Amino acid sequence: MSRTILRGRVLTFLDEPQGLEDTESYRYLEDGAVVIEDGKVVELTDYSPALAAGAEIFDHRPHLIMPGFIDTHLHYVQSQMIASYAGSLLEWLNTYTFVAEQKFAEQGHADHVVSAFYDELIRHGTTTAVAYCSVHPQSVDAYFAEAEKRNMLMIGGKVMMDRNAPEPLLDTAQSGYDDTTALIARWHGRGRGLYAISPRFALTSTPEQMEATRALVGEHPDCYMQTHLSENAAEVTYAMELYPQAKDYAGIYEDYGLLSPRSLMGHAIHLSHREAKLMGETGAVAVFCPTSNLFLGSGLFDHQRLRQCGVRIGVATDIGGGTSYSMLRTLDEAYKVLQLRGQRLTPLNAFYMTTLGNARALLLEGTIGSIMPGASADLVVLDARATPAMALRMSTVETLAEELFLLQTLGDDRSVAEAYVAGARAKSVL
């Protein structure tokens, strides 16, 4: 059995921090050893030479070893139209998104995009992501085949949409159901892959497709369900026109039985108190996509109010509405969004969110998002001196929290010294 040891400063969260002084919420080792066997962490302990016998050692001092970042919402099929100039969500979807996604009808296009996309994830230290693929089943095959090749825990699914998009991008309630059923059989639970049933949003699904989604969720209770909710004011107005009998936007999904602890609701910005309470009661996850929400001018996520309503929260890039693959950049923008709301995101809470917090949002605590015995050795190694500006600032940093805040404020892919997937080096071997 091969044994690998990563030596360095190690940080892993045990629980959601209750503020900057909450030292109980994490474990930090100044000279730590992450002991890995067969792709899994078997021990996290202080480094000692006695551990080294028979092991391959990677010495990452003085860098910081953390659980690999998790991104709970993105669209890999938008990798070629990230950074497209548009005024707002619906204009952006019609002008760029639906054009880019049509290319996935061509055999071979997905294979080309998907390998570059996975390289970007790894370069940015993201070891697990939840993706929307395009409406075409082959985009899903390419996505999961690449995950399997790289031994990565990846979640995703075929977008279902049967109205309000260009004809070549439409499925039907029946074909969306049939294709999704076949894809779940092919990919859910194969390797580390997990399937997310993916009706794009209420605007692009007819009531018949929502019914088919209800059936899929009922037939596959261990799959995820992902969609978009209340991202943009014009979207909310149109959703209510399309579903006039619903109490509100979240009520549309409620009416089709689509709110559960396995439901990942992208954006969730413009919610009434009833909707926030409903999400809290059903356990559905609100996924905060700060770079996208600022870029598309969608609005400011209300973290505090959702937490007060007991809503589970994830954080994500939302590529290509989002403007960076980097979870560090994403945390920086999350901080700024909450500043505008008069709320504070401590650096401890920020790094909790993109590791253990997102693992909890995915009900995968113990598997990813922490460095603990039994967890997969999906890890990131962070260098807080990666650029001259960072090194200059780092020379005055005195605490772990200050270092984390520096990493999220000035850091990007250059701060990712290495990424490990199931115990194997992934970034330096790209």
Catalog residues that contact ligand GUN under the rule CB under 6 A. 75, 89, 93, 97, 200-201, 228, 231, 292, 318, 321
Encoded one letter per residue, x for contact with Zn ion by CB under 5 A and - for no contact, window 299-318 reads -------------------x
Q: Which residue is nearest to Zn ion (CB)?
A: 266
Binder of Zn ion out of 8, 266, 369, 423 (CB under 5 A): 266
Collapsing DSSP states into helix, strand and coil, what is residue 382? Answer: strand
Q: Are 118 and 127 in contact (CB under 8 A)?
A: no
Residue 132 burial class via C-beta count within 10 angstroms: exposed 0-12, middle 13-18, buried 19 and up: buried
Beta bridge partners of 37: 3, 40
Of Zn ion, ligand GUN, none, which one sits near residue 201, judging by CB under 5 to 8 A according to partner kind? ligand GUN
Counting contacts by CB under 5 A, is residue 320 touching Zn ion?
no
Picking from 85, 161, 149, the residue whose alpha carbon sits closest to that of residue 117 is 149
Contact segment (CB under 5 A) with Zn ion among 58-66, 138-146, 152-160, 261-269 equals 261-269
Shorter beta-carbon distance to ligand GUN: residue 134 or 355:
134
Shortest distance in whole angstroms from residue 87 CB to ligand GUN: 14
Instruction: Determine if 290 is a binding residue for Zn ion (CB under 5 A).
Output: no
Start-end of H helices in 345-422: 347-352, 358-361, 388-394, 400-410
Cβ atoms 389, 397 nearer than 8 A: no
Complex with ligand GUN: residue 289 or 380, whichever CB lies closer: 289
SS3 content of the chain, % helix, strand, coil (to 5): 40, 25, 35
- Return the one option of Zn ion, ligand GUN, none that residue 97 interacts with (CB less than 5 to 8 A, by type): ligand GUN
Between 4 and 292, name the residue whose CB sits nearer to ligand GUN.
292
CB of residue 168 vs Zn ion: minimum separation in angstroms?
20
Residue 231 binds: one of Zn ion, ligand GUN, none (C-beta under 5 to 8 A by kind) = ligand GUN
**Considering the rule CB under 5 A, would residue 157 count as an interface residue with Zn ion?**
no
Nearer to ligand GUN (CB atom), residue 92 or residue 352: 92
CB of 229 to Zn ion, least distance (A): 10
Nearest to 67, CA basis, from 273, 355, 284, 298: 355
At closest approach, how far in Å is the CB of 267 from ligand GUN?
7
Cβ nearer to ligand GUN, comparing 32 with 321: 321
Give least dist CB 89 to ligand GUN, A: 6
Q: How far is the CB of 300 from ligand GUN (least distance, A)?
A: 15
Query: How many residues belong to the site for Zn ion (CB under 5 A)?
Result: 2
Contact status, residue 20 vs residue 352, Cβ threshold 8 Å? no
d(CA 121, CA 155): 14
**Distance of CA 124 to CAs 11, 194, 205, 327, 338, Å?**
18, 22, 33, 7, 23
Report which secondary-structure segment, H or E, holds 214.
helix 207-219
What are the residues facing 194 on neighbouring strands?
155
Site of interaction with Zn ion (CB under 5 A): 266, 318
